Amino acid sequence: MSVSPLQALPLELLRQRTSTKWRSYGDDVIPMFVAETDFALAPAITAALQRAVEIGDTGYTPPRPGIDLDFADYAQRRWGWRPDPAKIRWTGDVMMGVVEVLRAVTSPGDRVVVTPPVYPPFYDTVEEAGAVVERVPLLDHGDRWSLDLDGIERALADGARSVLLCNPHNPTGTVHARESLAALARLAHRYGATVVSDEIHAPLTHAPAVFTPFLDAAPEAAAVGYTVTSASKTYNLAGLKCAVIVTGSEETAAVVRALPWEVEWRAGLFGVIANRAAFAPDSDQWLEGLLAALDHNRRLLADLLTEHLPLARYRIPDAGFLAWVDVSAYGWGDNPAPFIRREAKVALHHGPLFGEEGVGHVRINVGCDPEVLRDAIERIGRLAVATDADAGGSSIVETSLVASEDR
């Protein structure tokens, strides 16, 4: 049965928001940089938060808030995997959880593998934990990306102690294959390392891709893995602090239970209330409508780039609402985003922040109204025409659009 796509809120209403997306730049700029979406909250979330305000339920987060059971049920419905609620804890947000787990499983100076191009806070989080970043870039196959398992094995064999995994991957939108995740689990187990998996984009996986929770990928994953995730990206709850830390064995669960008590206290009560409502069955239909809207926009972006920026390179992502686009052919420098913002009045995320693989790239948030997306790409397209004319075409090199429909 087909599901009607969610409709984004009108711009005049969105510009009344006070969040980062809507307060970083003036009203003449289309903001498409930070991972906030432009839809109304799921009705169940709105109702739960309204009720909390009505009765003044604004105190401390309780010692057993119930999110462990709710997430376990949600994972069962969405992915056919039900983690043990006794092995689920909570904290303020995913990066908080990641840094605390890394502190627990590494020693100062240990190396942690990251797989660029990757979410910029991964680099900061490793350093905050006292460890050192070891880069093992994704393999670029032309039509898709994958983990460089040989490279990761070399790093682990050389003494790296952990892998910080992005599953699904940000910014490429790659949903890692079960076979790759299973092989990663076996490698970590063989070398006595750990895998910390950020799975915040998992609910946003688009068919026919199939999301595999790392802890469910292979028997070895339970022994080496720690998953940190939240409803915040999918349901636009970043300002309401709550995430879960999931483990699959008694040994890894004991590591998380031994974290300082403040780790759980960092979860805000409104964050818990909102996450629980997001994970409840009442929000499932809203999620299907969101996925339909994002599916339309990820494909629309391919069409718009073909029409207005034909030298751009883009692969339709497996998951999420973030698009990784190579615009290096237009000669706008290593970091095109500031130039695009200044000249076209469209704010995009800076590619080089994701690693040196991001030179010449931008990340575009397509979690918006299709007409907003169209306006943004048309503006950038006009910029491309203007700069090409100014340069006499000398800065343009031949490349092509890559739109991977089956990944």
Domain coordinates in residue numbering, the chain: 11-41+284-391, 44-281
Helix (H) and strand (E) counts in the chain: 16, 15
Q: Over 80: is that where the pLDDT of 397 sits?
A: no
Confidence of residue 390 (pLDDT cuts 50, 70, 90): low
Cβ contact 40:178 at 8 Å: no
Residue with tokens 């969405």: 78
Which CATH number is 44-281 given?
A: 3.40.640.10
When the pLDDT of each residue in the chain is averaged and rounded to a whole number, the result is 95
Q: Over 50: is that where the pLDDT of 253 sits?
A: yes
Count Cβ atoms within 10 A of the Cβ of residue 258 and give its class: 0-12 exposed, 13-18 middle, 19 or more buried. exposed
- Per-residue pLDDT at 399: 29
Nearest-10 crossing angle of helices 149-157, 178-190? 10
Segment 34-40 mean pLDDT: 98
Confidence of residue 3 (pLDDT cuts 50, 70, 90): confident
Q: Does domain 11-41+284-391 have CATH number 3.30.1130.10?
A: no
Q: Over 90: is that where the pLDDT of 197 sits?
A: yes
Confidence of residue 180 (pLDDT cuts 50, 70, 90): very high
Confidence of residue 360 (pLDDT cuts 50, 70, 90): very high
Q: How many of the other CB atoms lie within 10 Å of CB of 161?
A: 23
The C-alpha angle with vertex 263 and arms to 259 and 269, in degrees rounded to 5, equals 145
- Per-residue pLDDT at 389: 65
pLDDT digits (tens, 9 = 90+) for 258-290: 999 999 999 999 999 999 999 999 999 999 999
Cβ contact 77:215 at 8 Å: no
Cβ contact 242:223 at 8 Å: no
Cα 250 to Cα 92: distance, rounded to the nearest angstrom: 23
Q: Over 50: is that where the pLDDT of 406 sits?
A: no
User: How far is residue 27 from each of residues 12, 21, 24, 39, 340, measured CA to CA in Å?
Assistant: 10, 11, 10, 19, 16
The C-alpha angle with vertex 237 and arms to 363 and 284, in degrees rounded to 5, equals 100
- Per-residue pLDDT at 2: 77
Question: Which pTM value belongs to this model?
Answer: 0.94
Q: Over 50: is that where the pLDDT of 401 sits?
A: no
- Per-residue pLDDT at 1: 61
Q: Over 50: is that where the pLDDT of 190 sits?
A: yes
Q: Over 80: is that where the pLDDT of 192 sits?
A: yes
- Per-residue pLDDT at 16: 98
Q: How many of the other CB atoms lie within 10 Å of CB of 272?
A: 20
